[in-house]
Amino acid sequence: MKKFILTITCILAAVLINAQSLEDIVKNYTVANKLDKIATKSTIKITAKMAMMGMDMPMEIWLKNPNKIKTVMNMGGQNMVQAFDGVKGYTINPMSGSTTPVEMGPEELKQIQRQNSFVNTVDNYLKNGQLSLEGEDVVNGKPVFKIKASIEPGTTSTLFIDKNTYLLAKNSVNTSQGGMPVTIDSFPTDYTETSGVLMPMKTTTSMSGMEMIMTITAVEVDIPMEDSVFTLK
């Protein structure tokens, strides 16, 4: 009996040691991704390329603290531009037959603002009661925490956070496009630190049978960046 009680005690102790609260996981995630210090940076410029449908499309992303964002993707020699100046957002889409900036709608604004690297989005979700711990899983052979974020009605994001490194191993977004449900799975890898900023240098994304691979080739931190960069109109 004593041996049985000792065994049960050891099992319970192991469970308690390994069990982590949602708050602990988010805290460790914040530290591992250096998000507790990101607000001290003034600017970030990312140079990348997107491989999709047999094409390699050069990309540049400008970010200025606290909330200015601009992305440029070159498709067949034409630049698709999205920019948010902190108040309004505009897009230029030559594929639509126009090079005139068009003001973004509410959904486009939400999407571009989610690219703001200066914001600890996961911690904000926690504070707003939008996170729930859904247990554990395995991604690419590694154990992960599974956390669900209720972003808005009709849109959820499931974060798979590596139990050892606390880096994001997978993000699965369930949303709708054109009234149809769609799942977007992203796998960030090759995390690299540049001047205190940690970025996945490669992200593979799949959606509706289509695969996109974004590869970051350069990250520049705290470089001069005029506000005019983010003004399209």
pLDDT over 90 (residue 35): yes
β-pairing verdict for 131-139 and 155-162: unpaired
Residue 148 DSSP SS3:
strand
How many angstroms separate the CA atoms of 179 and 221, rounded?
39
DSSP string spanning 60-120? EEEEETTTEEEEEEEETTEEEEEEE-SS-EEEE-GGGT--S-EE--HHHHHHHHTT-TTS-
Percent of the chain with pLDDT over 90: 77
Contact 93, 76 (CB under 8 A): no
Query: Residue ranges of the domains in the chain?
Result: 21-230
Tokens standing for residue 26: 């988010």
Query: What was the pLDDT predicted at 19?
Result: 55
Tokens standing for residue 65: 């603290």
In the chain, the N- to C-terminal Cα span, in Å, equals 78
Tokens standing for residue 10: 């050891």
Tokens standing for residue 186: 């992203």
β-pairing verdict for 55-64 and 142-152: unpaired
Between 53 and 217, the higher pLDDT residue: 217
How many angstroms separate the CA atoms of 67 and 212, rounded?
26
pLDDT over 80 (residue 192): yes
Query: What was the pLDDT predicted at 76?
Result: 85
Q: Kindly tell me the sign of the dihedral angle through the C-alpha atoms of 126, 127, 130, 133.
A: positive
pLDDT tier, 177 (very low <50, low <70, confident <90, very high otherwise) = confident
Q: Is the pTM of this model over 0.85?
A: yes
Average pLDDT, the chain: 90
Query: What was the pLDDT predicted at 219?
Result: 98
Query: What was the pLDDT predicted at 4?
Result: 40
Query: What was the pLDDT predicted at 232?
Result: 86
Rg from Cα positions in the chain = 20
Query: What was the pLDDT predicted at 67?
Result: 96
Provide mean pLDDT across the span 141-155: 95
pLDDT over 70 (residue 8): no
Provide mean pLDDT across the span 203-219: 96
- CB atoms near residue 120 (< 10 Å): 18
- CB atoms near residue 65 (< 10 Å): 18
CATH of 21-230, one of 3.40.630.30, 2.20.130.10, 1.10.3720.10, 2.50.20.10: 2.50.20.10
Residue 144 DSSP SS3:
strand
- Kindly report, residue by residue over 60-98, the tens digit of the pLDDT: 999 999 999 999 999 988 999 999 999 999 999 988 887
